[in-house]
Amino acid sequence: MQNITLSSNHLKLLFVSTPVGGLGTGLGGGVELSLYNIAKYFLEQGHTLQIVAPEGSLWDKAKFNIVEIPGNLQIIAQSQERDTPVTMPENSLLANMWEYTRSCQHEYDLIVNFAYDWLPFYLTPFFQTPIAHFVSMGSLSNALDLAIAQVSKSYPGTIGFYTPSQGATFTNLTPPLYYLSSGIDLSLYEFCAQPKEQLACLGRISPEKGLEDALAVAAQTNIPLKIMGKMQDEAYWQKIINDYPKAPVEYLGFLSTDKMQQVVRECKALLMTPKWVEAFGNVAIEALACGVPVISYARGGPAEIIQDGKTGFLVEPDSVAGLVDAVTLLDSIDRYECRKQAEIEFSLSANGARFLQWFEDILR
C-alpha cells in the first residue's frame, strides 16, 4: 500500500454517477457501493461534494447533496456485444446528466465520472474543468476501449481502475494509470467466528457472474447456498435453477448492506464464480470484513484480493471440482485473518487516501 500524506486542501468535487440505474437500486452493481464509500469519505473530510444521479435514487439526498436527473436509463454494457455501436435512448439520462454537469462545471475543481459509457470520455476535451474517469469494469466494448485510450493519451493520469488485472484487459493505454482498489465502512460489518453450515453468493443475478457453478457446488456438497443480489436477468435465473433442481438454494432478494451482512457473516464461505474478468469484487471485501473466507476462480480482482490458503482459496478458473475441494478445506482458515485483511487493506480511510492522491495528482 502507498504511503500518502494527506493534504489540507479543500476540494470542490462533482461526482457523476452511472446512468444504468438509481443509486441504491442495485442496478449499478459494485460501483454504487464504491461511489457511496468514496463520497462518504470526502464529505467526512470536509470537502465540498455534489452527486449527479438518476431520478429515483434512494440514498439520503440531503446528506449526499444529490441532484436527480430525469431521462431514460442507459442499457448495460454487459448485455451488448463487443462491436455493438454506441446507442442512447431518446431523452437519454446519460446525456442529461452530462448536460447538467457541463452547465455547473465551473463551480467545481474536479469532475469524477463513474459511468462505464462512451459519452463522458468523448466529451472530455469539450470541458474546461478536468475530469477523472473511474472505470468500473474490464474491457467489454471496442468503441469504449478506443475512447478510454484516447483520453489516457490526451489527459494522462485521469484514468483510474480498481485493479491492475482489470486495467490489463484494455489496450493502447498511456500511463500513468491509477489502481485504486476499494474500501468499505468496516463498522457496518460484524465479525462472526462460528458460522452455520451454509455458503453465500452475492451480486447481480446475471450470466457473467457464473452462478450456475455455485449451484453445482451446492448440489454436489448438499451445503445450503444463500443467494442475495439484484435480479437482472430473470430468464438466466430460471434456466440455472431448472438445471440444478436438487441444489439446496435460497434466493433472498436484493438486501440492504446491513441485512446482507447478517446473512453472509453466518456463512462458511462466499463463493465467487464469475465468467468474466471481475474488475474488483466488492462482495469479496464485504465477506472478509465479516470474517468470511472467499473461494473464487483465480482471475481478475478476486485473485488480487484473496490470500490463497489464508483468507480463502483461489481455484483454477471454471473448475467446479476445484471449488468443491476448496469447500472441504475451509476449516483450515482462521476467520480472524479475514477480518484483519479487510481492516488493513480495505478501510474507508485507506481507500479515500488513494482517491485523494489521484485527485491531487490530476489537479497538480
Residues within the interface to ligand UDP (CB under 6 A): 26, 29-31, 33, 202-204, 228-229, 254-255, 257, 260, 280-283, 286
Residues 6+ apart with CB under 8 A from 10: 46, 47, 48
Which residue's C-beta sits nearest to ligand UDP? 30
**Minimum CB–partner distance for residue 348 and ligand UDP (Å):** 14
CB atoms within 10 A of CB 262: 15
Give the residue from 250, 271, 277, 287 showing the smallest Cα distance to 322: 271
Rounded to 5 degrees, φ, ψ at 242 are -70, -35
Q: Judged by CB, which is closer to ligand UDP: 11, or 283?
A: 283
H or E segment and range at residue 235? helix 234-243
Q: Judged by CB, which is closer to ligand UDP: 129, or 257?
A: 257
Q: Judged by CB, which is closer to ligand UDP: 281, or 322?
A: 281
**Three-class SS state of 280:** coil
Q: Judged by CB, which is closer to ligand UDP: 11, or 295?
A: 295
Q: Judged by CB, which is closer to ligand UDP: 86, or 255?
A: 255
**Minimum CB–partner distance for residue 282 and ligand UDP (Å):** 4
CB atoms within 10 A of CB 125: 11
**Minimum CB–partner distance for residue 261 and ligand UDP (Å):** 9
Instruction: With beta carbons less than 8 A apart as the criterion, state whether 13 and 112 touch.
Output: yes
**Minimum CB–partner distance for residue 122 and ligand UDP (Å):** 23
Q: Judged by CB, which is closer to ligand UDP: 92, or 282?
A: 282
What DSSP designation does 209 have? G
Give the residue from 98, 10, 103, 7 showing the smallest Cα distance to 48: 10
CB atoms within 10 A of CB 207: 20
**Minimum CB–partner distance for residue 297 and ligand UDP (Å):** 14
**Three-class SS state of 92:** strand
Q: Judged by CB, which is closer to ligand UDP: 180, or 228?
A: 228
The CA-atom distances, in angstroms, between 303 and each of 216, 224, 285 are 21, 25, 12
Q: Judged by CB, which is closer to ligand UDP: 124, or 286?
A: 286
Rounded to 5 degrees, φ, ψ at 37 are -70, -35
**Minimum CB–partner distance for residue 286 and ligand UDP (Å):** 6
Number of H helices, E strands in the chain: 13, 13
**Minimum CB–partner distance for residue 228 and ligand UDP (Å):** 3
**Minimum CB–partner distance for residue 6 and ligand UDP (Å):** 26
Rounded to 5 degrees, φ, ψ at 113 are -95, 125
Identify the sign of the CA torsion 264, 269, 273, 274.
positive
Q: Judged by CB, which is closer to ligand UDP: 204, or 268?
A: 204
**In the β-sheet with 12-16, what is the strand arrangement from edge to edge?**
66-69, 48-54, 12-16, 110-113, 131-134, 159-161, 178-179
Distance of alpha carbon 339 from alpha carbon 348, whole angstroms: 14
**Minimum CB–partner distance for residue 115 and ligand UDP (Å):** 13
Query: What does the block give as the cell for 247?
Result: 441444489
